[in-house]
Structure 1
Amino acid sequence: MEAAHEFTMWALFARATITVKIVMIMLIAASIWCWAVIIDKTIQYRKARAEADIFDRSFWSGEPLDGLFDQIGADPDGPSEKIFASGMLEWRRSHRQDGGLIAGATARIDRSMDVAIAKEGARLQKGLPVLATVGSTAPFVGLFGTVWGIMNAFIEIAEAQTTNLAVVAPGIAEALLATGLGLLAAIPAVIYYNKFSSDSDQIVSGYEAFADEFATILSRQLDS
């Protein structure tokens, strides 16, 4: 029965050298960190899409823009609402006390919304460098652990002066576990990094499209 348990994950980790153990712990920690980012980004992007849909329906419901702005306030929580609020704030600030408009209002409104979009884009991208870093480095970290483990396995083989499979297999298995953990951390990180990068670009494109439409509406009011 003891031999049957020699190749469990815990047994392989326990027999590994201190260097390989450190590599394995680093890879496990990186994998947990990646999954925390993945869960957080999944929730964040889902909320961003839902908020954008709700606000889009409110914006195109026919309600006056001033009334909608008064309803959501100058410092709303939703990303789409923040972009709208930044444009409306600049719109109101561009009016003089006599009711006229200060020159360059359109450019200032566009810049204000661009800044808001950039901030929301940065929030959406936050955490993605972690996935990119783990996805690109974890296999090499795991490979380092494997090379180190195999080196020690060969040393043990030389000291035992035998190539018996019972002597060779444990050391090789311990070494390969590091590579397996590296791939276990890297594969989800790469997949979700690509997915979240694409999702982020789509969400930001939606914000930019809304800002262009909103700016067009305000421009019509300026011209009239």
Structure 2
Amino acid sequence: MDTTTTSLGFGHFLAQADTVGKTLLALLLLMSAASWIIIATKALTTVLRQRRAAGFLDRFWNAGTLEQVQADIDAHGASDAFSHLSAQALHAQAHHARHGAQRLAEAGSASEFLTRTIKKVLDEETTRVESGLTTLATVGATAPFVGLFGTVWGVYHALLGIGMSGAGTLDKVAGPVGEALIMTGLGLAVAIPAVVAYNAFTRSNRVLCGRLDAFAFELHSFLTMGEAPGAAVPAANSNVRAIKPQIAVATASTPATAA
């Protein structure tokens, strides 16, 4: 009995697994590797993106003119969503001022062309930050079922072997069935980190998109009206807390309505 107990385990399960069991195990390992690569990549990207965005926003709101903002972008590059949005908006304004509406892509007033440009950049940034989340969601949703399928398959073959041997004692049944449960454990071990990371990245992206939308609204106002809405509070309202432009709460308005 001791020899049988010590012989059981993951190594014995792997040695006794058939083609289906090994294929399911390889699939779980592949899903785990893919999810951890995405988690590590997106975690590093998120940290760098937040650091660069904070630096650009600090320089942006301390700049005296939009020309200084353009010079800062030329010097440091557009390496985050906020600087990229600013660069594209400034370029769109300058382009329309020089060439006007010569093509269908430039049709409408300068404000309408600027609104379309900002909307396009917002859509591009949203798509970019959501890359990889579909894979994490798929791994989190399917890995437990892949592991469960492996367990059912292993229990099926274990019961067939026990039935053919004619030995129905507890020690003969519990060992193979317990080995089959390894696949369920592996499926959960693959799924849990993927689900946790998916929720964390989804919330981070939602916060980023909200801040970016608010920044886009104020940037559009700067370029069209020369002022940022809500950037200042009348001195008479001493009980009202001033809004910081770089962390302004996103409103229901969009650049299209601002135009």
TM > 0.5 = yes
Aligned-residue RMSD, C-alpha: 2.1
**What residue number does 1:193 align with?**
198
Matched, 1:162 2:167: yes
Q: 1:111 aligns with which of 104, 116, 130?
A: 116
Letter in 1 for 2:37: A
**What residue number does 2:41 align with?**
40
Separation in 2, partners of 1:121, 1:47: 17
Of 159-168 and 129-138, the range deviating more from structure 2: 159-168
Q: 1:219 aligns with which of 187, 199, 224?
A: 224
CA offset at residue 62 of structure 1?
Answer: 2.7
Separation in 1, partners of 2:218, 2:185: 50
Q: Tell me the TM-score normalized by structure 1.
A: 0.89
| Distance of aligned partners of 1:157 and 1:4 in 2 relative to their CA distance in 1, 3 Å threshold | closer
Tell me, yes or no, if the aligned pair for 2:5 and 2:175 is still in contact at 8 Å: no
Partner of 1:95, secondary structure, is: helix
Letter in 1 for 2:23: I
Alignment of 1:95-110 (within 5 A): 95-96=97-98, 104-110=109-115
Tell me, yes or no, if the aligned pair for 2:140 and 2:192 is still in contact at 8 Å: yes
Separation in 2, partners of 1:3, 1:153: 15
Separation in 2, partners of 1:217, 1:201: 24
Of 123-132 and 44-53, the range deviating more from structure 2: 44-53
| Distance of aligned partners of 1:66 and 1:103 in 2 relative to their CA distance in 1, 3 Å threshold | farther
**What residue number does 1:145 align with?**
150
CA offset at residue 132 of structure 1?
Answer: 0.5
CA offset at residue 70 of structure 1?
Answer: 2.8
Letter in 2 for 1:92: A
What are the ranges of 5 or more consecutive residues in structure 1 without an aligned counterpart?
A: none
CA offset at residue 107 of structure 1?
Answer: 1.7
Separation in 2, partners of 1:211, 1:125: 19
Count, aligned residues: 218
Higher relative contact order, structure no. (Cα contacts within 8 Å, ≥ 6 residues apart) = 1
Higher helix content, 1 or 2: 1
Tell me, yes or no, if the aligned pair for 1:125 and 1:200 is still in contact at 8 Å: yes
Letter in 2 for 1:192: A
What are the ranges of 5 or more consecutive residues in structure 2 without an aligned counterpart?
A: 100-106, 228-259
| Distance of aligned partners of 1:8 and 1:175 in 2 relative to their CA distance in 1, 3 Å threshold | closer
Letter in 2 for 1:45: T
Of 80-89 and 65-74, the range deviating more from structure 2: 65-74
Matched, 1:66 2:67: yes
CA offset at residue 174 of structure 1?
Answer: 2.4
Tell me, yes or no, if the aligned pair for 1:72 and 1:81 is still in contact at 8 Å: yes
Partner of 2:226, secondary structure, is: helix
**What residue number does 2:80 align with?**
78
Letter in 2 for 1:94: H
Of 75-84 and 126-135, the range deviating more from structure 2: 75-84
Letter in 2 for 1:204: C
Letter in 2 for 1:171: P
Letter in 1 for 2:146: V
Separation in 2, partners of 1:61, 1:4: 70
Q: 1:204 aligns with which of 179, 200, 209?
A: 209
Tell me, yes or no, if the aligned pair for 1:138 and 1:183 is still in contact at 8 Å: yes
